[in-house]
A and B are shown apart, each in its own frame.
Chain A
Amino acid sequence: MTIRITRRATLLGGAGLAAGALAAPAVAQNTPIRLGGLTTLEGPFATGGQDAYRCVQMELERINHTVGGRRIEFIRESSNAQADVALARARKLVEQDNVDIILGPLSGAEGIALRDYSRTLTGKTIVNGSSGASDTTLRNPSPNFFRFSTDGTQWMAGLGKHVYQTMGIREVAVTAGDYAFPYAQVFGFNLEFCRLGGKVTHYWAPLGTTDFTSQIAQINRSNAGAVVVVHGGTDGLAFMTQYAQAGGNKPLVGGSIMADQTMLSARGPHRRVMVGMISGGPIADVIDDPTWNDFVARYRRRWANEGGFASPSIHAVNYSTNLYGILHALKEVNGDLSDNQAAFQRALAAAEITAPTGASVKLDHNRQAISDIFLNKIEERGNAAQVVAFDRARGINQTLGIPEARFLSLGSPSRDNPGCVATS
């Protein structure tokens, strides 16, 4: 038997092929956008990570998981705040779950690891979760890494000045975790405090330290007029509990993840010493802003009966801010991720959004947020301790207003370069 190929059959076949080829992009537009979430559901920041996913879920539910005509499929992954684990999980998201965009990670060193990983990717974008090391976007930035949240250095804007000028304290003890994020926070504090003439003694401890008693003994015997605590998660709780037990009574100044609901909602004697603590950061529990009040009200409605805090945590707000950036850009491009996400990334870089706190956010040339920072004080309101914003600095950039070249020449924040340098 012979197979006869008629002209008609050929034409039909050709038309079929063409139709298939034309239909393909339309199909791609209808497939869901795969958004991979990476946060810490294990380790010292498990509580913050859990809360971050609460808000991401809440905001996705609000738009019915749809943006620019495409469905968003959210895939949750978890690390334990260690850079190597975050990297492995990010690889899993990209290589096995085949996600288009990663929203994460939560912790400083993880952010740097993912920034480096993002550089090896084509057609994928990583948008920060809540990690706040400054070098993630300041030095050697990656074109595929975007951060709509402010970094640890920015969060301290105005704090050093407040401690020196308003509180009149000339010498402080800084106790901080020994990794990228606290370096950035300490750097931001010291830039102002040391420039004004303040004296700083540093006490570093590795992330995961739960017995600070010897460090506290040293601090309590020192001449420091205040203690600047830049720990978070269980480390921060352990420090504060042991500080309270050791009868510590110096005024406290907190890093941004110290004065947070993840800390205030845990029970214990630490709450007593933390009332009155001054801190700086991208959020507070009480901010006089309608956008924020609405966000908090929605959070309470959604999560009050499912383990939510009295008020969203800093990590939840940072993840939400970054999610807003993603959603804004996806809407701009109508969900079009073709051409290696080129249009989407352009839309991300140009995005100007409003964070849940009501702060306006835009990105600089390194794809890093320029936004508002709050000065906060912990107050006893009703029966609960709350972080209350009493001042707000608008449009803080990554170099705290210092010219970028000058700021870069100060060197990368580290335990040996904590920012006690002349900047003029």
Chain B
Amino acid sequence: MAANPMTQFEVYRIGPEIKIGAFDISFTNASLFMVISSLAILLIFNLGSKKNSLLPNKLQLLAELSYTFVSKMIGDTAGSKARPYFAFIFSLFMFVLFCNMFGMIPYTFTVTSHIIVTFMLAAFIFIGVTIIGFIKHGFGYLKLFVPSGVPAVLLPLIVVIEIISYLSRPISLSVRLFANMMAGHTMMKVFGGFVISLGIVGGWLPLSFSVALTGLEILVAFLQAYVFAILTCIYLNDALNLHH
């Protein structure tokens, strides 16, 4: 196998090349795992909501626990005004979580380890939240950059910092997820390579590291999906309840 741990992130075409104008929109392995993740989510939640029994079965319990988990997360961070965006945040959380988790299966492709994917999600959230903020508060939304209780001397500096921090939100949001996934998978690949190169004698140590890392990466996969969703909630909270 290839020694380069970065080859696992290669995107390649599956099937024919599809072009719309100058744009190449061919179906790739990344697209495949987006489709697989979405279908898995839809399948699980469809089966989990089909029957309504007083004592839920395992799938129904899973679906309902996820529902209440995300619902509680939104309620705690963004309040009741965020109710209309529940479906979006739920889809976002589930999509990122399933992409991360599918990436943990050997020989699969991790959709979220690509900056373009996470950046698109983050940019969409950033633009959406900004639009919601301006719709809700008009130009009063700009007060977000002017925190109350700051001495007038410091105000210009603070406003500049606030604006920079606001504009860097999509970058930090996307890079956090992308870097975590990429670093984790690269590390697992590196340790896996050590197992092969050290052979039967010295390979046990990196193998045990690899096993431990797999557990850690599953935790990270969940945690990063959670962080992604909760930061979206926090940004939404800023836009909905303007108090700085």
A and B found bound together: no
